[in-house]
């Protein structure tokens, strides 16, 4: 598949590895939506069907539908329905409550308290599967921190504070990742010194996010760097660009 | 208001009639050229897909001709088309173009927003004119669709190379000026007869049929698909269309707006390959390939713009259909760097392969 993005390629790679290990049932949910009135992306919508072309028939693909387009409650129902294929209702409800609580606690632990440190601050945005994955992102968070930057991400924005319709975009963004990127920029725009945007090559939603983010940053006088990632990205080339970007930020700050 | 709009095949003839009915002056941008693409590419985000770039080019050329309004289609995902309008509005704004940008979509915010949109679309007109405009637009769109379908059958057997396209282009200009339903019917009939007269009865029908499917804009707009249908016709191939504009408008604009549109039939066809809607025309591409493979086509051409998310998924699944149903499928990707010669070579090779296959089978 030559047109697929980095995420899809690594996903298929993982699945093939698991299939080689002799896995008989592969959990590959069809994630239609993770948030009200939003989609993940067309590639994820068709992912289980795509996987069937690559995984040998000995591995069965278990692809429950996760769909939150009609709200959180609908999503919870999806999970419970999924649980009921394995266990009776009472156990499922208990497991769901536990999982929900654990997820909330983890998300809250990422929320950022106000800090007034003197370090230069960089906002890192992009799809979560890139920013949160050290391998796919070329360990970008550690590298930026190694260069003396304090890195903010979209995960650190308190859930309710992320405005769905920010000043950056006049129309509501209907991809969750895109909305989070743009929302995080809006949230941190007065606090950070620069923005780094990670975008997988060939991602449709990202091509528009890049345009929105660069425009907003330009209007705000905020330096921004867009890093396109694909399977040919070299860590050295990226390192050079990050160093140059950080030098620029430092020079700008010191006047 | 002088309103410009993007091209999509011969849709401009119907859109002109509709806009006149709405009380606006339609400003049709010149047909796509190198200049359109260069303009569009210069101001678009780098990785935006080809339709985005040509559409932006159309808008800029339309504005140069004096338009002060832009009409665009919208939507709410997951395909990128839904967000085209917003990004294009911002780009035009940053370029300092003073235009009223209207995006046709079901607005969020219920009836008040819908009425607001309707008020922006409606110009100085009355009910009678509006009704006539709508009827003319619909009749013209249907006439064009039927004539084009007929031309697909005539072109492989035409007496003089290129005569079919010449006749169509000439007659469509007459259709463009037609002001009554009666005129449209007359032109439709005459052109239909004219097309049939172009057939060389001595040439036996080749019997080679290729289905074309994929992303709708690349399938319908000849500038973007490098006149794919014509090229195939000259190679002696009868093209089978799976996408028709009137049907698309009926399903995706009217039925969808009121929530009547179901994909049950498509899902039934695609069963086993794709389990649901993936945005754009991804599901259609899969379902129609299965339908075509069971019908009487010798091969299928799947065309889409580079980095089109739904079609990339479809492209990944199509080889399986090709294998299961024993039908060759060629996936063609177009972007602003698509070269005519390379395109032609691939088409010729594909048709050669199909011809050899037919001979071996016999």
Q: Tell me, what CATH number does A141's domain have?
A: 3.40.50.11900
What is the structure's pLDDT at A1?
73
Residues B250 and B220 in one domain: yes
What is the model's pLDDT at position A114? 67
My answer on whether B9 and B120 are in the same domain is yes
Q: How far is B45 from chain A (nearest CA, A)?
A: 6
pLDDT at B250: 87
CB spacing of B273 vs A215 below 8 angstroms: no
| Domain carrying residue B106 | 2-125
pLDDT exceeds 60 at position A166? no
Number of domains in chain A: 2
- Whether the per-residue pLDDT at A223 is higher than 90: the answer is yes
**Residue A127 shares a structural domain with residue A45:** no
Q: Which of A88, A112, A145 is the last residue of a domain?
A: A88
Q: What is the pLDDT of residue A160?
A: 57
Interface check A202 vs B, CB under 8 A: yes
Q: B69: which strand partners?
A: B3, B100
Contacts of B26 (CB under 8 A, 6+ apart): B2, B3, B4, B5, B15, B16, B19, B20
- Average pLDDT over every residue of B223-239: 94
> Taking 80 as the threshold, does the pLDDT of residue B324 lie above it?
yes
State whether residue A204 sits within 8 Å of chain B by CB: yes
- Separation in Å, CA of A54 to nearest CA in chain B: 9
Q: Do B274 and A46 touch (CB under 8 A)?
A: yes
Same-domain pairing of B135 and B191: yes
Instruction: Tell me the backbone φ, ψ of residue A16, rounded to 5 degrees.
Output: -65, -40
C-alpha to C-alpha distance for B37 and B16, rounded to whole angstroms? 23
Strand partners, B72: B103
| Nearest-by-Cβ selection for A211 from B87, B282, B320 | B87
Q: What are the C-alpha distances in Å from B327 to residues A49, B154, B184, B292, B357?
A: 20, 24, 39, 9, 10
DSSP state for residue B24 in the 8-state scheme: -
C-beta atoms of B276 and A207 within 8 A: no
Same domain? For A17 and A61 the reply is yes
More confident residue, A240 or B125: A240
The answer to whether A172 contacts chain B (CB < 8 Å) is yes
Cβ B45–A46 below 8 Å, yes or no? no
Collapsing DSSP to helix, strand or coil, A120 comes out as strand
pTM here?
0.93
Q: Nearest to residue A182, comparing CAs of A249, A126, A114?
A: A126
A61 three-class SS: strand
Q: Where does a domain end: B186, B205, B224?
A: B205
Q: Decide if pLDDT at B174 tops 80.
A: yes
pLDDT given for residue A168 in this prediction:
58
Of B91, B312, B317, the CB nearest to A53: B317
User: Does the distance separating the beta carbons of A63 and B315 come in below 8 Å?
Assistant: no
Token pair recorded at residue B195:
């097309």
pLDDT, tens digit, 9 for 90 and up, residues A126-138: 998 899 999 999 8
Structural domain harbouring A131: 120-253
Structure tokens at A154: 């979209």
pLDDT above 90 for B16: yes
Do B47 and A172 count as a contact with CB atoms less than 8 A apart? Answer: no
State whether B55 and B190 are in the same domain. no
Whether A108 is covered by a domain: the verdict is no
A49 → closest Cβ in B49, B80, B274: B274
CA distances, A38 to each of A8, B109, B255 (Å) = 20, 16, 21
Residue where one domain finishes, among candidates A88, A112, A131: A88
- CA B105 – CA B61 distance, rounded (Å): 24
Residue of A3, A49, A170 lying closest to B307 (CB–CB): A3
Query: Which residues of A are less than 8 Å from B103 in CB distance?
Result: 171
Report the distance separating Cα A240 and Cα A247, nearest Å: 11
B219 and B362 both lie in a single domain: yes
Q: Are B191 and B168 in contact (CB under 8 A)?
A: yes
> If 0-12 CB within 10 Å is exposed, 13-18 middle and 19+ buried, where does residue B5 land?
buried
CATH assignment at residue B355: 3.40.50.11900
Q: Which of B125, B156, B180 is the last residue of a domain?
A: B125
Distance of CA A215 to CAs A182, A250, B51, B56, B210, Å?
11, 22, 22, 18, 45
pLDDT at A161: 58
Is A124:A77 a contact under the CB 8 Å cutoff? no
What is the reported pLDDT for B233? Answer: 94
Q: Are residues B358 and B244 in the same domain?
A: yes
What pLDDT, on the 0 to 100 scale, is given for residue B148? 95
Residue of B nearest to A5 (CA): B307
Q: Reduced to 3 DSSP states, what percent helix, strand and coil does chain A have, rounded to the nearest 5?
A: 50, 15, 35
Average pLDDT score over residue span B202-221: 89
Q: How far is A213 from chain B (nearest CA, A)?
A: 11
Q: Give CA B1 to chain center in angstroms.
A: 26
Q: What one-character-per-residue DSSP string does A158-203 give?
A: -GGGS-SS-SS-SS---BHHHHHHHHHHHHHTTT-SEEEEEEETT-
B276's CB contacts (< 8 A; 6+ apart) are A30, A32, A45, A65, B267, B283
Task: Look at residue B232 in the predicted model and tell me its pLDDT.
Answer: 96
Residues B349 and B286 in one domain: yes
Which chain A residue has its CA at the smallest distance from B310's CA? A42
**Searching chain A, which residue's CA lies closest to the CA of residue B44?**
A211
Task: Pick from B46, B309, B317 the residue to mutate for testing the A interface (most A CBs within 10 Å).
Answer: B309
Q: Name A60's bridge partners.
A: A25
Mutate to test the interface with B, among A33, A46, A230 (most CBs of B within 10 A): A46
If pLDDT is split at 50, 70 and 90, which confidence band does A117 have? confident
Kindly provide the b/e burial profile for residues B8-27, where b requires at least 16 CB atoms within 10 angstroms of the residue's own CB. Answer: bbbbbbbbbbbbbbbbbbbb
Q: Could you tell me if B68 and B2 are in contact, meaning their C-beta atoms sit under 8 angstroms apart?
A: yes
Q: How confident is the model at residue A164 (pLDDT cuts 50, 70, 90)?
A: low
**A207, B80: Cβ pair inside 8 Å?**
yes
In the structure, what pLDDT confidence band is assigned to residue B77 with cuts at 50, 70 and 90? confident
Distant-in-sequence, close-in-space partners of B11: CB < 8 Å, separation ≥ 6: B141, B220, B245
d(CA B36, CA B224): 11
Q: What share of chain B is helix, strand, coil (3-state, %, to 5)?
A: 60, 10, 30
Which of A88, A108, A135 is at the close of a domain?
A88
Q: Which residues of B touch A78 (CB under 8 A)?
A: none
In this prediction, what percent of chain B has a pLDDT beyond 70? 100
Residues B197 and B240 in one domain: no
**∠ CA B236-B245-A172 to the nearest 5 degrees?**
130
Residue B168 pLDDT > 70: yes
In this structure, what token pair is assigned to residue A255?
């006047």
- Inspect the interface and report whether the beta carbons of A175 and B78 lie closer than 8 Å: yes
The single residue listed with the structure tokens 């907003």 is A216
Kindly report the backbone phi and psi dihedral angles of residue B107, in degrees, each rounded to the nearest multiple of 5, phi listed first: -75, 150
A202 or B51: whose pLDDT is higher? B51
- How much is the average pLDDT of A3-32? 92
Q: Residues A212-217: what's their mean pLDDT?
A: 92
Q: How many domains does chain B have?
A: 3
C-beta atoms of A39 and B77 within 8 A = yes
- Any idea what the CATH number is for the domain that residue B34 is in? 3.40.50
> How many Å from the N-terminal Cα to the C-terminal Cα in chain B?
61
For residues A66 and A155, membership in a common domain is answered with no
Q: Cβ separation of A205 and B45 shorter than 8 Å?
A: no
Residues B33, B165 share a domain: no
Question: Is the four-CA dihedral B251, B254, B255, B257 of positive or negative sign?
Answer: positive
Residues A80 and A125 in one domain: no
Token representation of residue B141 = 């769109």
Give A174's contacts in chain B (Cβ within 8 Å).
76-78, 82-83
Select from A37, A171, A204 the Cβ nearest to the Cβ of B80.
A204
* Residue A36 near residue A74, CB atoms below 8 Å: no
Residues B279 and A32: their CA atoms lie apart, in Å, by: 11
Distance of CA B303 to the CA centre of its chain: 12
Among B74, B310, B319, select the one facing A42 at the smallest CB separation.
B310
User: Is A34 inside any structural domain?
Assistant: yes
**Facing residues of B73 across strands?**
B104
Res. A162: pLDDT tops 70: no
Do A145 and A216 fall within a single domain?
yes
Q: How many CB pairs under 8 A join A and B?
A: 127
Residue corresponding to tokens 């000043």: A167
Mean per-residue pLDDT, A125-151: 92
Nearest CB partner across the interface for B45, out of A38, A45, A210:
A210
Is the same domain home to B155 and B96? no
Q: Nearest-CA distance from B201 to chain A in Å? A: 44
Same domain, B118 and B141: no
pLDDT given at position A25:
94
Question: Is B217 in the same domain as B359?
Answer: yes
Out of A42, A170, A211, the one facing B309 most closely (by C-beta) is A42
Is A126 found in the same domain as A27? no
Q: Which residues of B touch A53 (CB under 8 A)?
A: 316-317, 319-320
In this structure, what DSSP letter does residue A67 have?
Answer: -
CB contacts, 8 Å: B302 with chain A: none
Residue carrying structure tokens 């463009």? B176
DSSP classification of residue A137: T
Percent of chain B exceeding pLDDT 90 equals 72
- Closest residue by Cα to residue B166 from B191, B146, B145, B187: B191
Which residue among B83, B311, B316 places its CB closest to the CB of A208? B83
Contact A46 B282 (CB under 8 A): yes
Three-state SS for B219?
helix
Quote the CA–CA distance of A251 and B8 in Å, as a whole number: 49
pLDDT digits (tens, 9 = 90+) for A69-88: 998 899 999 999 999 999 99
Domain end residue (candidates: B125, B144, B170): B125
Q: Which tens digit of pLDDT belongs to each residue from B248-281?
A: 888 877 777 777 777 888 999 999 899 888 888 8
For residues B24-37, average pLDDT: 94
To the nearest whole number, what is the mean pLDDT of chain A?
Answer: 89
């Amino acid at each position: 598949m030559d047109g697929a993005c980095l995420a899809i390629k690594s996903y298929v790679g993982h699945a093939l590895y698991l299939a080689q290990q002799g896995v008989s049932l592969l959990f590959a949910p069809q994630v239609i939506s993770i948030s009200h009135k939003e989609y993940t992306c067309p590639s994820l919508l068709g992912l289980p069907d795509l996987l069937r072309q690559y995984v040998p028939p000995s591995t069965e693909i278990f692809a429950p539908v996760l769909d939150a387009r009609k709200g959180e409650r609908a999503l919870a129902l999806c999970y419970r329905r999924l649980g009921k294929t394995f266990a009776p209702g009472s156990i499922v409800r208990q497991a769901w409550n536990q999982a929900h609580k654990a997820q909330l606690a983890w998300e809250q632990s990422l929320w950022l308290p106000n800090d007034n440190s003197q370090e230069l601050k960089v906002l890192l945005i992009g799809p979560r599967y890139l920013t949160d994955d050290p391998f796919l992102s070329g360990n970008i968070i550690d590298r930026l921190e190694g260069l003396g930057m304090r890195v903010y991400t979209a995960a650190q924005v308190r859930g309710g504070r992320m405005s769905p319709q920010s000043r950056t975009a006049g129309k509501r963004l209907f991809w969750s990742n895109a909305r989070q990127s743009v929302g995080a920029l809006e949230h941190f725009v007065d606090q950070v010194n620069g923005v780094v945007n990670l975008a997988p090559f060939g991602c449709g939603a990202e091509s528009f996010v890049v345009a929105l983010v660069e425009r907003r940053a330009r209007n705000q006088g905020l330096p921004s760097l867009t890093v396109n990632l694909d399977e040919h990205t070299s860590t050295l080339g990226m390192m050079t660009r990050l160093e140059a970007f950080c030098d620029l930020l430092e020079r700008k700050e010191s006047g | 208001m002088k309103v410009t709009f993007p091209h999509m095949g011969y849709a401009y003839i119907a859109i002109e009639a509709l806009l006149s009915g709405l009380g606006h002056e339609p400003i049709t941008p010149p047909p796509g050229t190198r200049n359109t693409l260069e303009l569009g590419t210069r101001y678009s985000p780098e990785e935006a897909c080809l339709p985005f770039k040509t559409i932006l080019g159309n808008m800029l050329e339309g504005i140069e001709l004096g338009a002060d309004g832009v009409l665009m289609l919208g939507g709410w995902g997951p395909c990128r088309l839904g967000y085209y309008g917003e990004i294009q509005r911002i780009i035009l704004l940053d370029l300092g173009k003073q235009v009223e940008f209207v995006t046709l979509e079901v607005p969020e915010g219920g009836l008040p927003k819908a009425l607001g949109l309707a008020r922006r679309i409606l110009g100085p007109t009355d009910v009678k004119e509006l009704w006539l405009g709508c009827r003319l637009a619909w009749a013209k769109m249907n006439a064009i669709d039927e004539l084009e379908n007929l031309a697909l059958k005539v072109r492989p057997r035409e007496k003089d190379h290129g005569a079919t396209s010449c006749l169509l282009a000439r007659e469509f200009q007459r259709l463009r000026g037609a002001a009554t339903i009666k005129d449209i019917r007359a032109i439709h009939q005459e052109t239909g007869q004219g097309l049939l007269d172009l057939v060389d009865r001595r040439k036996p029908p080749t019997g080679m049929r290729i289905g074309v499917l994929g992303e709708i804009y690349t399938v319908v707009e000849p500038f973007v698909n490098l006149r794919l249908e014509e090229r195939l016709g000259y190679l002696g191939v009868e093209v089978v269309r799976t996408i028709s504009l009137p049907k698309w408008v009926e399903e995706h604009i009217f039925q969808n707006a009121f929530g009547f549109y179901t994909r049950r039939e498509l899902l039934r066809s695609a069963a086993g390959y794709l389990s649901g809607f993936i945005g754009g025309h991804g599901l259609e591409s899969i379902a129609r390939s299965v339908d075509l493979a069971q019908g009487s086509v010798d091969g299928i051409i799947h065309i889409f713009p580079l980095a089109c998310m739904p079609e990339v998924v479809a492209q990944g699944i199509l080889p399986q259909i090709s294998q299961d149903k024993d039908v060759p499928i060629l996936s063609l990707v177009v972007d602003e760097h698509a070269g005519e010669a390379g395109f032609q070579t691939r088409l010729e090779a594909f048709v050669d392969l199909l011809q050899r296959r037919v001979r071996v089978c016999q």
